[in-house]
Structure 1
Amino acid sequence: MSAQSTTVSVQETTKVKRARRAALAGFLGGTLEYYDFFIYTTAAALVFNHVFFAKGDPTVGLIQSFAIFGVGYIFRPLGAIIFGHLGDRIGRRNTLVATLVLMGGSTFLIGCLPTYDQIGWWAPLLLTLMRILQGLSAGGETAGASSLTLEESPVGRRAFYPSFTASGINAGMVLASLAFIPIAAMDPVARDTWGWRIPFLASFIVLIVAYLVRRKLDESAEFQKANVREVSHSKGHKVPLVVMLKTHPIPFLVVCLMSVQILINTFMQSFGLAFATQIGEVSAATMLWASVAGNAVAILTQPFLALLSDKIGRKKVFIPGLILSGGMVFFFFQAIAAHNVPMIFLTTILITGGSYAATNGLYTGWFAEQFNVRVRYTGLAVALQVGILIAGFSPAIGTALVGGNVNNWHIASLVVVVGVVIALIGAFLARETYRTPLKDLGNNMTNDTANESV
């Protein structure tokens, strides 16, 4: 073997090792972020309307609880702007450490909050503040992990390695559901008094593990090269958001539209749980175990679906997944209304681990590929959160539209269909990027444009 061949082989091995480390860090970070983010979802559906609000109409309390859930989504775009700016200016790694600590800390503090009976309206106000901090953190986490992993991935694996960030999100949902299964089975008085706090306080353990892994990450080589070029041609201070909107308006719009696909899972996880337990007659344990099953399957299927898109293209996997999700969601809600437990499990697994996995496993790579490296973190973060905003309020909207009547299950299904249609429009307009070289991703940015003083 020649010296040149040996050098190339060593470089490829190093590239794969870096990609694996980035994928692991993305997986663990996604697990923590969405364990934290979705234990609120579960608690909002099962407990918070009893704990943080005055006693009264349970449907009103549920809407209030879901409204605070939506507040986290309002602040996700702001978090995307803040952490996107930091990620594109000072680097991906340190920014991702900051998002991790912010999410873990705010979630731990939720577990320490006093209740409405103890401090009155201060209780929901403090809960709202913690949810705002969660939203700020979540706004920057997935985009940063996806950008870093994409830039570290070898040729032909740019969807595969970033998909582990998405699988980490599913793992977080599995942990959140598992954490609440024994809580849901507790005596209601004990559950509402102290039991619900345990999953929030336990997030500290996951935080420590993810922090230790993330601190050992290297900065993306692609970002470092771009940063060196930018500094050498710098003409003033740059705001990545302004540069991104000027240089990537169409990719930004397209990713905003495609990001609405996240409504599918958010609506099933949050509203589906409340619809089943507080409007229908399905037990919380049944719904939580179904969620565990679906998300556990997704952890395994998403990397394979992402790898398939590396072979045949992003659109050929993403678009069929959307269409199938929009169709099968009717069977999901009808099964809940009919109290058909086997069908609840089957539809949850087929959607979460099948059709939705085909979109969720791709977005971490495909959406990031729409942007140039110099504005990738900002572009992906802000577009993702603007598009996802509607998902945050979908549980409250669904609760209001269904009106406490289990026979209105088809109305709940139509909420998901609207989200699917919006995402489909974006998917048809998006660039097919699976064969595009890493250096050519996104719109071309000249030094004059990228370094414009703003």
Structure 2
Amino acid sequence: MTAINAAGSHAGEATGVKTPKKAALASWIGSAVEYYDFFIYGTAAALIFPKIFFSSVNPHAAAIASFATFGVAYIARPFGAVALGHVGDKFGRKKVLTFTLLLMGFSTFLIGCLPTYDQAGLLAPVLLVVARLLQGISAAGEQAGANSMTLEHAPPHRRAFFTSFTLSGTQAGLILATLVFIPITRLPEADLLSWAWRIPFFLSVGVVAVGFWVRRSLPETPVFLEETKKHETAKIPFVILFQDHWADVLRIIFAALISVVSTIFSVFTLSYAVNTMKIDRPTMLTVLVLANLVALAAIPLWAILADRIGRKPVFILGALGCAVLIWPYIWAISQGNLPLIFALGILLSGIVYSASNGVWPALYGEMFDTRVRLSGMAIGTQIGFALGGFAPTISAALLGDGPNGWVPVAVFTSVTAIVAALSAATARETFKTPMSELGRK
């Protein structure tokens, strides 16, 4: 039967129908859709929400409050990770991926319908927080589900490459979200704040429909079907995870602090450049687009390297590089030096951060066996990502006055990136380990 082991057989690998290209495509498109919705919130939180959902008496306080609503989704994400991890490890990855896509689309469309502070007072930010919590629950299961799906469909020795498509999709979602905002931010301020800001949120209905259409025919992974057939799926994955894999969960929590670099780059520095240094919005949004276009090419290339030399050296290189480059990047913004902002932004986010970002799906997923893989990745990453989500809030509070007021933000970002590198250094190297032996002590 030619469909069996279509991706190639290998000693120790589970047999079954593997569709690595289809799984990678579905993960790419689904992640692009999911994170389009997630990232338009980040852009709006930096540029628009402080003015329409919070009192304008104190602009700095309004910015901190707006960033806090961006971060509040990360409070929901660990809880969503436990629930969706249980569903994915017990009933299948596909069910989680369908649910997360629909929930994200609903919550994003809901944000576009909300009244502003002038229209509803304190009810407006309360409703905004509720919608953001729903987004967080959705995001909690999306990447872990997509990563598990692609990892388990991938052929031997190419697992990092195929799982990297999930993160390439995430970058594509950020690009799409930013491109949608560029023409909108060129509108007169009155139009932007009254009705135009809602357009990106309403457009989520269309992109979710595309993602759902692509994912509906994706088959479940062979290794999960094999465990189901043998009745070996965990009754309560969460319990097994913390009995046998608690050290790996902790390892992922600290390694996932690399996400601080992403939110500082895409949210905090955007706000700092536009609101503090008075660099125009389209210019900074263009920096984000170009950096993420470069990342689309860089992520799979780093993943190919990780399939050849291992996950750890690539991840660590990216994390330590970010710890260094965040300094000249924020300095360039503080100087209003546009050529340096573009060059360093592309180098930092597009190239160096992509090393860690493209490799972590394989690095984390290979720490666990099939019974608890989705739970382990989801819980570990979402707790670690929580600090990443609140990084703009923390940085807004750390930001001082004067020309060197940005230095505490750079220190904070560097420390978290170094911690991520040290945590990854303690992991086992698994790029040559067969699928059946992953997560086995």
TM-score using structure 2 length: 0.96
Q: 1:123 and 1:268 mapped to 2: Cα distance? A: 27
1:138-157: CA deviation from partner (whole Å, max 9, x where unpaired): 01100000001000000111
Please say if residues 312 and 363 of structure 2, whose CA atoms lie closer than 8 Å, have aligned partners that are also in contact: no
1:296 equivalenced with 2:293 (yes/no)? yes
What amino acid is the match of 2:255?
M
Please name the residue that 1:62 is paired with: 63
Please name the residue that 2:97 is paired with: 96
Give the one of 334, 342, 363 matched to 1:366.
363
1:375 equivalenced with 2:376 (yes/no)? no
Count of aligned positions = 436
- Deviates further, 129-138 or 241-250: 241-250
Change (3 A) 1:177 1:219: same
1:356 equivalenced with 2:353 (yes/no)? yes
Secondary structure at the aligned position of 2:159 is classed as coil
Change (3 A) 1:15 1:283: farther
User: Aligned ranges for residues 262-341 of structure 1 at < 5 Å?
Assistant: 262-341=259-338
Q: 2:4 and 2:117 mapped to 1: Cα distance? A: 63
Please name the residue that 2:12 is paired with: none
Q: 2:347 and 2:364 mapped to 1: Cα distance? A: 24
Change (3 A) 1:238 1:404: farther
How far apart are residue 238 of structure 1 and its match?
Answer: 2.3
Please name the residue that 2:215 is paired with: 214
1:158 equivalenced with 2:159 (yes/no)? yes
Change (3 A) 1:120 1:406: farther
1:391 equivalenced with 2:388 (yes/no)? yes
Please say if residues 176 and 199 of structure 1, whose CA atoms lie closer than 8 Å, have aligned partners that are also in contact: yes
1:284-325: CA deviation from partner (whole Å, max 9, x where unpaired): 111100000000110111011101100111112111111111
Please say if residues 311 and 363 of structure 2, whose CA atoms lie closer than 8 Å, have aligned partners that are also in contact: yes
What amino acid is the match of 1:417?
S
How far apart are residue 21 of structure 1 and its match?
Answer: 0.7
Q: 2:5 and 2:219 mapped to 1: Cα distance? A: 20
**Percentage identity across aligned positions?**
43
User: Aligned ranges for residues 104-143 of structure 1 at < 5 Å?
Assistant: 104-143=105-144
Give the one of 8, 14, 17 matched to 1:12.
8
Q: 2:16 and 2:156 mapped to 1: Cα distance? A: 10
Change (3 A) 1:97 1:397: same
Please name the residue that 1:48 is paired with: 49
What amino acid is the match of 2:308?
K
How far apart are residue 30 of structure 1 and its match?
Answer: 1.0
What amino acid is the match of 2:42?
T
How far apart are residue 94 of structure 1 and its match?
Answer: 1.3
1:411-443: CA deviation from partner (whole Å, max 9, x where unpaired): 221121011122012111111110000110013
Q: 2:285 and 2:184 mapped to 1: Cα distance? A: 11
What amino acid is the match of 1:330?
W
Please say if residues 332 and 341 of structure 2, whose CA atoms lie closer than 8 Å, have aligned partners that are also in contact: yes
Q: RMSD between aligned alpha carbons?
A: 1.8
- Deviates further, 187-196 or 219-228: 219-228
Change (3 A) 1:401 1:212: same
What amino acid is the match of 2:223?
E
Q: 1:91 and 1:439 mapped to 2: Cα distance? A: 18
How far apart are residue 12 of structure 1 and its match?
Answer: 2.9
Q: 2:376 and 2:189 mapped to 1: Cα distance? A: 45
Change (3 A) 1:116 1:12: same
Q: 2:371 and 2:267 mapped to 1: Cα distance? A: 36
- Deviates further, 14-23 or 72-81: 14-23
Please name the residue that 1:452 is paired with: none
Q: 1:315 and 1:198 mapped to 2: Cα distance? A: 41
Q: 2:329 and 2:156 mapped to 1: Cα distance? A: 38
User: Aligned ranges for residues 125-204 of structure 1 at < 5 Å?
Assistant: 125-204=126-205
Q: 2:429 and 2:109 mapped to 1: Cα distance? A: 41
- Deviates further, 6-15 or 429-438: 6-15
Please say if residues 179 and 289 of structure 2, whose CA atoms lie closer than 8 Å, have aligned partners that are also in contact: yes
1:326-380: CA deviation from partner (whole Å, max 9, x where unpaired): 1111111001000011111111111112110000000111111111110000000
Please say if residues 18 and 154 of structure 2, whose CA atoms lie closer than 8 Å, have aligned partners that are also in contact: no
Please name the residue that 2:429 is paired with: 432
Change (3 A) 1:87 1:56: same
Q: 1:242 and 1:321 mapped to 2: Cα distance? A: 33
Please say if residues 96 and 145 of structure 1, whose CA atoms lie closer than 8 Å, have aligned partners that are also in contact: yes
Q: 1:405 and 1:24 mapped to 2: Cα distance? A: 47
How far apart are residue 403 of structure 1 and its match?
Answer: 3.6
Please say if residues 280 and 406 of structure 1, whose CA atoms lie closer than 8 Å, have aligned partners that are also in contact: no
Secondary structure at the aligned position of 1:324 is classed as helix
Please name the residue that 1:449 is paired with: none
How far apart are residue 404 of structure 1 and its match?
Answer: 5.4
Q: 1:419 and 1:230 mapped to 2: Cα distance? A: 41
- Deviates further, 411-420 or 18-27: 411-420
What amino acid is the match of 1:131?
R
Please name the residue that 1:247 is paired with: 244
1:8-53: CA deviation from partner (whole Å, max 9, x where unpaired): 8856399897111111111111111111111111001100011111
Q: 2:266 and 2:6 mapped to 1: Cα distance? A: 44
